């Protein structure tokens, strides 16, 4: 996402929004507890008056809100029937928005109650099937994988048939799992027990959150209502730190289970808490009583474990190696935990130059454009400062060129995107924005011509590179400063959001109401300095490489209700000095390598199979057919393993460069063991496999104390390697150009 501070948002508007909301809030009664109805009114008015489209909550939006809400609850069209939907449309379609603006959330609650009843009834039927029905998996029938675009079941009988195939498919999938320790019936039964438990944990506040979030999504895919806990997580992800014990948690069989300890965090440094330990109770300070956390929602457990820096939390723990169920008490003092895995990091890679001479290339990975939104001091977390520090060390090591990897960068701070661009250009505009009043603003590099790196530059992108990533890549492309390499185009998110505390708009005197949540609100669209928007189109690569994402529906155009593409007048800017890059030559060389590369061949084969599976959107319910698929996959894996061994590929020498290494006298050689490679391959398959789609909320209760990016394992990455090859070609091309100019 692109985020702006609340104060800046107030300055960009004409001044009418706060006055209008405050005046309408004059009738709000003062409350010790915040009334959900009043929250709804404030959110509705903020959207009507503050959203980029200024769309009134009329009957058309009311019907759209109903559609968004029912699909939020029942994403895969499995529990509601068309009869339910028709009844909702008849009763609420024309009035749902009006009721919301009156503070009446009864329609939302009524719809949720019907959803809850449908889930409970369906799970009861599923359990009956699991007890009584026997499947021989010999039919030639199929089951649909992703039903999000399918029609609702016509009636209960139609739903029964759909679910019979679905349960048969789940049992067949588990019967093919030769590593399972339980029977297929036990595994599937437990899955639906979890769904019921998750449903039972939902509160009235959760229903309000679902509904108000649906309202925000009715305006565009990136507006969002955030509960206080979600807002806290948003701030954590932006500043890459939190105060807590430094443990990732997941929910398992009613326990909050330790899945990982953050290096350098209080829990890891204390040494008593172990991975797979289960938390059964939490107490604050020395004398407070323990609160039983068994079967408690994971977010509630996390909330109790987090707290103020320097305070004591006591955990009642069932150790992973406990034989007789004996519990122990662990006392940990909360402290700041740095989420170092999500910050900028780099490698220095040694390759052979065109004459066989040793050459060092830099590879900088940037997971997001992070910034501490709550603090602007010198020590506040900043992407630009971190990257500048890494650049300084890489240049002291003598790198000849640099790749910046944005493949998994979903965006972040607009200010950081502008400032980071400034490290690579002398001066000038970086991005343009347009607000609801059609006023265009040009935002420029403000570092007075200082350039941190002037050498050859490649920016590596993918369909997942979004928002701030697209601003950065597009600006460097427009300046002719970098070669953009990767997927055909980036995500295509060309909108700007700000985050507003809803409670600030609920009092006529500006006194903040407690626990009202926040609204992430789309207020602007942004544009390249060349005039075109990245909305829907994204930033197109100069050199396109085969990609695992090309088969998937990833991007702004795959989301519901995206804002349209348009253009503004180009800004005035001066391109990077020197002759234009000969991208044609770089393309030709790259295409020749890709055509003969073993890993790219495997990638293209996998992509084609993925496209076929997505297009079919079905799984066979015939066990023999599925076993043949599994056998073929195993054979393919073995063939590829043999081909890789025969290729005798040698990984280049690479040295890790984390922020804590910048001032160290020497760097750490990158080493990758086979266990880490296997773990990464499995993670990649899970992330890219559409057949692993969720069963609505059945598997949605996993969570953590702090969000963390999956760890990169450093395994061979053909796209990464080819970006380095392109960089080496670019270095050679620029050297030839320099020699030619010297002879002129």
Look at residue 177 in the predicted model and tell me its pLDDT.
86
Q: Which CATH homologous superfamily contains domain 241-338?
A: PDZ domain (2.30.42.10)
Mean pLDDT score, 536-547: 96
- Give strand pairing partners of 226: 518
Beta bridge partners of 374: none
User: Is 478 tagged catalytic?
Assistant: yes
Residue range 569-592, pLDDT digits in tens: 999 999 987 667 789 999 999 999
pLDDT reported for residue 741? 57
- What's the pLDDT tens digit per position in 417-436? 999 999 999 999 999 999 99
Q: Which of 333-342, 606-615, 632-641, 663-672 has the lowest mean pLDDT?
A: 663-672
| Predicted local confidence at residue 671, as pLDDT | 58
Cβ atoms 276, 265 nearer than 8 A? no
Among 366-380, 397-411, 595-609, name the one with the lowest average pLDDT: 366-380
Give mean pLDDT, residues 294-301: 85
* Percent of the residues in the chain that have a pLDDT greater than 70, as a whole number: 86
Topology match between the domains 241-338 and 340-496+525-581+650-690+710-743: no
**Does residue 628 surpass a pLDDT of 80?**
yes
Which residues sit opposite 315 in a β-bridge?
Answer: 282, 330
Q: How far apart are CA 742 and CA 350, in angstroms?
A: 28
What CATH code is assigned to 340-496+525-581+650-690+710-743?
3.90.226.10
- Helices 82-92, 59-73: inter-axial angle, 10-degree rounding: 150
Q: Is residue 211 within 8 Å of 218, Cβ to Cβ?
A: no
Q: For 490-541, where are the alpha helices, taking DSSP H only?
A: none
3-state secondary structure of 416: helix
DSSP 609-675: HHHHHHHH-EEE--HHHHHHHHHHHHHHHHHHHHHHHHHT--PPEEEEE-GGGTT-SS-EEP---HH
CA distance 713 to 489: 26
Per residue in 262-282, pLDDT (tens digit) is 888 888 888 889 888 999 999
Partners of 351 in the beta sheet?
359
pTM score, whole prediction: 0.84
Q: Which residue has the tokens 């707290």?
A: 307
Report the pLDDT value the prediction gives residue 710, as an integer from 0 to 100.
30
Instruction: Place 326 in a pLDDT band, splitting at 50, 70 and 90.
Output: confident
Task: Tell me which residue of 429, 428, 567 sits closest to 494, measured CA to CA.
Answer: 567
* Active-site residue identified among 445, 478, 696, 729: 478
SS3 162: helix
Task: Yes or no: say if 497 and 523 are a contact pair by the CB < 8 Å rule.
Answer: yes
pLDDT, one tens digit per residue, over 607-624 is 999 999 999 999 999 999
Element holding 100 (H helix, E strand): helix 96-101
pLDDT at res. 357: 86
Q: Which residues of 505-538 are buried (b: 16+ CB within 10 A; e: fewer)?
A: bbbeeeeebeebbbbbbbbbbbbbbbebbbbbbb
- Identify whether 577 is a catalytic site residue: no
User: What pLDDT, in 10s, does the model give residues 171-206?
Assistant: 999 999 888 789 999 999 999 998 998 899 899 999
Would you list the domain boundaries of the chain?
Answer: 61-214, 241-338, 340-496+525-581+650-690+710-743
Among 24, 223, 467, 723, the active-site one is 467
Q: State mean pLDDT over 672-680.
A: 45
Q: Tell me the pLDDT tens digit for each residue of 109-146.
A: 999 999 999 999 999 999 999 999 999 999 999 999 99
pLDDT value for 1 = 57
pLDDT of residue 579: 63
pLDDT at 700: 31
Q: How far is CA 409 from the centre of its chain?
A: 9
pLDDT at 21 over 50: no
Residue 381 in this model has a pLDDT that exceeds 70: yes
Q: Which among 45, 493, 520, 537 is annotated as catalytic?
A: 493
pLDDT tens digits, one per residue of 223-244 = 999 988 888 888 888 887 788 8
Half-sphere exposure of 305 (CA within 13 A, CB side): 32
Mean pLDDT of 511-527: 87
Beta-carbon contacts of residue 533 (< 8 Å; ≥ 6 apart): 494, 525, 526, 527, 565, 566, 567, 568
- Round the average pLDDT of the chain to a whole number and report it: 86
Average pLDDT (519-537) is: 97
pLDDT at 509: 46
- Asked if 389 and 658 count as a contact pair (C-beta separation under 8 A), the reply is no
Handedness of CA 23, 26, 30, 34 (dihedral sign): negative
pLDDT at 738 over 70: no
In contact, 737 and 578? CB cutoff 8 Å = yes
Tokens 């509630």 label which residue?
Answer: 300
Residue 578: predicted pLDDT: 61
- Active site (annotated) includes residue 467: yes
Band of pLDDT at residue 697, cut at 50, 70 and 90: very low
């Amino acid at each position: 996402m692109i985020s702006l501070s609340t104060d800046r948002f107030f300055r960009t508007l004409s001044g009418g929004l706060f006055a209008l909301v405050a005046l309408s809030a004059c009738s709000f009664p003062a409350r010790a507890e915040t009334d959900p109805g009043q929250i709804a009114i404030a959110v509705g008015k903020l959207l009507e008056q503050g959203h980029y489209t200024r769309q009134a909550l009329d009957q058309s939006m009311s019907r759209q809100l109903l559609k968004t809400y029912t699909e939020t609850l029942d994403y895969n069209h499995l529990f509601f029937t068309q009869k339910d939907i028709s009844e909702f449309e008849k009763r609420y379609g024309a009035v749902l928005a009006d009721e919301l603006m009156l503070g009446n959330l009864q329609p939302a609650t009524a719809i949720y109650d019907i959803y809850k009843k449908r889930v409970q009834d369906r799970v009861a039927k599923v359990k009956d099937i699991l007890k009584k029905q026997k499947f021989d998996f010999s039919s030639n029938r199929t089951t649909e994988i992703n039903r999000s675009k399918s029609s609702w079941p016509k009636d209960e009988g139609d739903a029964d048939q759909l679910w019979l195939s679905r349960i048969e498919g789940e049992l067949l999938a588990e019967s093919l799992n030769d590593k399972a320790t339980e029977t297929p019936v036990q595994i599937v039964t437990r899955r639906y027990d979890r769904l019921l438990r998750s449903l039972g944990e939902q509160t009235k506040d959760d229903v309000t959150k679902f509904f108000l979030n649906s309202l925000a999504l009715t305006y565009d895919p990136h507006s969002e209502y955030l509960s206080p806990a979600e807002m806290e997580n948003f701030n954590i992800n932006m500043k890459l730190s939190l105060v807590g014990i430094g443990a990732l948690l997941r929910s398992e069989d009613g326990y909050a289970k330790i899945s990982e300890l953050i290096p350098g965090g209080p829990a890891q440094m204390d040494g008593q808490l172990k991975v797979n330990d289960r938390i059964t109770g939490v107490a604050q300070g020395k004398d407070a009583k323990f609160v039983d956390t068994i079967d408690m929602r994971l977010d509630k457990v996390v909330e109790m474990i987090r707290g103020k820096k320097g305070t004591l939390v006591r955990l009642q723990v069932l150790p992973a190696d406990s034989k007789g169920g004996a519990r122990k008490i662990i006392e940990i003092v909360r402290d700041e935990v740095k989420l170092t895995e999500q910050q900028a990091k780099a490698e220095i890679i040694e390759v052979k130059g065109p004459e066989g001479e040793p050459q060092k290339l830099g590879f900088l990975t940037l997971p997001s454009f992070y910034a501490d939104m709550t603090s602007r001091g010198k020590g506040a977390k900043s992407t630009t400062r971190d990257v500048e520090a890494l650049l300084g060390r890489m240049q002291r090591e003598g790198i000849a060129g640099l790749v910046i990897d944005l493949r998994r960068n979903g965006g972040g701070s607009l200010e950081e995107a502008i400032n980071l661009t400034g490290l690579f250009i002398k001066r000038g505009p970086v991005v343009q924005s347009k607000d609801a009043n059609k006023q265009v603003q040009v935002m420029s590099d403000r570092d007075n011509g200082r350039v941190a790196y002037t050498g050859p530059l490649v920016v590596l992108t993918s369909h997942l590179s979004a928002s701030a990533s697209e601003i950065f890549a597009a600006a460097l492309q427009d300046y002719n400063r970098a070669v953009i390499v990767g997927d055909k185009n980036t995500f295509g998110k060309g909108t700007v959001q700000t985050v507003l505390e809803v409670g600030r708009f609920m009092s006529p005197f500006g006194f903040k109401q407690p626990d009202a949540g926040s609204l992430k609100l789309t207020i602007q669209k942004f544009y390249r300095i060349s005039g075109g928007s990245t909305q829907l189109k994204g930033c197109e690569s100069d050199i396109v490489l085969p990609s695992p994402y090309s088969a998937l529906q990833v991007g702004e155009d795959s989301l519901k209700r995206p804002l349209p593409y348009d253009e503004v007048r180009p800004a005035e800017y001066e391109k990077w000095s020197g002759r234009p890059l000969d991208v044609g030559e770089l393309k030709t060389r790259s295409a020749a390598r890709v055509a003969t590369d073993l890993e790219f061949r495997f990638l293209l084969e996998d992509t084609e199979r993925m496209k076929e599976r997505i297009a079919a959107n079905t799984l066979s319910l015939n066990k023999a057919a599925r076993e043949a698929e599994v056998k073929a996959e195993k054979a393919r894996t073995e063939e590829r393993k043999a081909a890789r061994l025969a290729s005798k590929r040698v990984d280049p020498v690479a040295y890790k460069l984390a922020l804590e290494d910048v001032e160290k006298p020497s760097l750490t050689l990158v080493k990758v063991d086979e266990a880490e490679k296997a773990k990464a391959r499995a993670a990649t398959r899970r992330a890219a496999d559409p057949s692993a789609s969720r069963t609505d909320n059945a598997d949605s209760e996993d969570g953590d104390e702090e969000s963390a990016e999956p760890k990169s394992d450093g395994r061979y990455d053909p796209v990464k390697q080819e970006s380095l090859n392109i960089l080496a070609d670019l270095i050679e091309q620029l050297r030839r150009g320099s020699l030619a100019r010297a002879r002129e």
